[in-house]
Structure formats: structure tokens, C-alpha cells
Amino acid sequence: MQVVRITPRGYCYGVVDAMKLVRQVAEDPKTRKPIFVLGLIVHNRHAVEELDRYGVISLDGENRLELIEHADRGTVVFTAHGVSEAVRQRAAEKGLDVVDATCPDVTKTHDLIRTLAHDGYTILYIGRRGHPEPEGAMGEAPGKVHLIETAADAHDLDLDGRKLAVVTQTTLSRWDTEETIRELRNRYPKIEVFNEICLATQLRQEAAVRQAEHCDLVIVVGDTRSNNSNRLVQVVREQAGRPAYLVDGVHEIDPHWLEDAQTVGVTAGSSTPSPITREVIQFLEQYQMDGASANPGQG
């Protein structure tokens, strides 16, 4: 069995910078304590556990505006997913020091939304319900941004097709959004389209599809809550036509998947720490030498 290390994979620049920033802040004696992270720094339990070891408190939940009420003093960190203006204001009202780890690509989308709203556009935001990124983006222009997951979600909205814009979440799949955008264009020929899928997401997905074509199956290392990891599984299945499995770590690999596999691809979401992916690769390489005797969880 051959193991194909799909590249690029794993941590993106936004996540690398966010993790570095929080570590620096946690180690700086001048930082006001306690340090709260508003939401999970990235959607990966291993990355969150690493910050736990620095004494950083991760406030887990869907609504940033509610979560910030749990931070009564010290410092609050905004994650790479970005926050709405209301959350920034609340942090200021509460007298919290702020460390902003918002990814520059997300900030760019927020700026775009504010500009479009200022220019009188109604905005359709294609994103995943319950994910923090749409929450922050919609909060940039309350009442003017409508979250949709598919074109069908736009049916019930009373939309003026003349000043209509569509903006995408950064971690979706190009293939997914293309279909939704095509349908929206059919219904609203004048709709203006802003594809905000970030380069890191796009490159990882394109590499996974291209390199999966030479594999019997692909293992995606990532957390079930990570949108970009789930999208990697989706694009391998739908675009490359290969089986793909999401695993949080080596312990979740089912040896049955490997029974008839000659070539196994490995990739990782942009929120997955490299050591976790390395363990998976090492396990698979060991498996190819030892066959079925290799034991997941020991890797």
C-alpha cells in the first residue's frame, strides 16, 4: 500500500497566525488575566487543548454576543472566524482588553459587506448555519444580510433583484457554491457575485481532488466541527469520485477501509495541527509494512 501525502494540507496562514498570537499573549506577563477566547480558536480539539495548557479559557458556544457575557475581566481573543461590530462594542463596554486574531481574508469579506450595505445592496451570504463566520459577517450589516445555504433558501425572501449581491463564506467548496450561484443568476440576472472562498481553502480542495484521482481512498484528518475539513471529504467524494473519511486522529481509522486499498491519500483541514496528521501518516506507512497487525490508537 502506498501513502500519498496530499499537499498543500493542514494549517493555513490564518490559523498559524491566530495560534501564534494567542501563545504570545498567554506568555506575555503584561497581558491582563484571565484570557478568554471567544469561541474555539479553531475547530479542532487538539488545538484547543494546546491553549488549555497555557491557561487560556475557551468559551464554547454558537453566539459570540452571548459568550462575551462570560468574560467579566481580563482579555478577550477574537478568533480567526471574525466577530460582528456588536461584539467589539460589547468588549469595549465591558472594559476588556482585546486581542484580534481575525484572519485578514475574513476582514476583507467584512469590509466588502459593509461597503455593499452602505451602497444599498441586499446581500445573500452563502454559508453554514451555526458556524461563527456567518455570524460575524451578518453582524456587519444587521438586517441587510440574509444567510442561505442553497439557492432554495432564497425562495421565501422578498428580494429586489436590481441591487442584489451574493457573498460566500471563506471555507466553502467552489463546486458547491457554483451550483447555488448559477441558480441565483438564473432567477436574478443582475445579481453581483463576490466569491470570497479563501486561497488556502481553494488550494487544499483542488489538491485533494487532483491527487485523490490516483488514490483508492482518502483520509481527511480534522475535527467534525471543522467546516473546511468536512468540505475536503465532500469534494473528494463528489469531484474525484473516491471514498473519503474524516478522522480526528489515528484512533478513528477503521482497518476495514484499508483492506483492499493499494494507494491511500492523506490530507488535513486548515485547522488540523501537523503532529496529528503526521501520526496518521506514520500509522498508515507502518500498516503498509505490518499489514493488518498495525493497531489504530497505538500510532
CA distances (Å), origin 196, targets 167, 206, 223, 240: 6, 16, 23, 23
Interface residue with ligand SF4, options 3, 6, 9, 14 (CB under 6 A): 14
In the range 68-87, which residues lie near ligand SF4 by CB under 6 A? 80
Helix (H, G, I), strand (E, B) or coil at 116: helix
- Preceding amide of 296 cis, omega within 30: no
**Minimum CB distance to ligand SF4, residue 216 (Å):** 28
Phi, psi of 88 (to 5 degrees): -60, -45
Catalytic status, residue 133: yes
Q: How many residues bind ligand SF4 (CB under 6 A)?
A: 15
* Structure letter (DSSP) for residue 115: H
**Minimum CB distance to ligand SF4, residue 169 (Å):** 9
Largest CA distance in the chain: 64
Sign of CA dihedral 66, 72, 73, 74: negative
Closest CA to 49 of 230, 278, 248: 248
**Minimum CB distance to ligand SF4, residue 82 (Å):** 9
* Structure letter (DSSP) for residue 162: G
Question: Where do the DSSP E strands lie in the chain?
Answer: 2-5, 35-38, 57-59, 75-78, 97-100, 122-126, 145-148, 164-168, 192-194, 217-221, 244-247, 263-268
Interface residue with ligand SF4, options 3, 12, 126, 137 (CB under 6 A): 12
40 binds ligand SF4 (CB under 6 A): no
Provide the grid cell at 45: 480539539
Interface residue with ligand SF4, options 87, 105, 141, 248 (CB under 6 A): 105
CA distances (Å), origin 252, targets 86, 172, 289: 40, 25, 20
Write the binding mask 242 to 281 for ligand SF4: x where contact by CB under 6 A, - elsewhere.
----------------------------x-----------
134 binds ligand SF4 (CB under 6 A): no
In the range 164-223, which residues lie near ligand SF4 by CB under 6 A? 170-171, 198, 200-201
Q: 81 vs 90, which CB is nearer to ligand SF4?
A: 81
Q: 46 vs 163, which CB is nearer to ligand SF4?
A: 46
Q: 105 vs 285, which CB is nearer to ligand SF4?
A: 105
**Minimum CB distance to ligand SF4, residue 195 (Å):** 13
Spatial contact of 39 and 67, defined as CB atoms under 8 Å apart: yes
58 binds ligand SF4 (CB under 6 A): no
Provide the grid cell at 155: 425562495
* Structure letter (DSSP) for residue 183: H
Rg from Cα positions in the chain? 21
**Minimum CB distance to ligand SF4, residue 37 (Å):** 14
Kindly name the residue from 50, 133, 149, 178 that is annotated as catalytic. 133
Residues near ligand SF4, by CB under 6 A: 12-15, 80, 103, 105-106, 170-171, 198, 200-201, 228, 270
Catalytic residues: 133
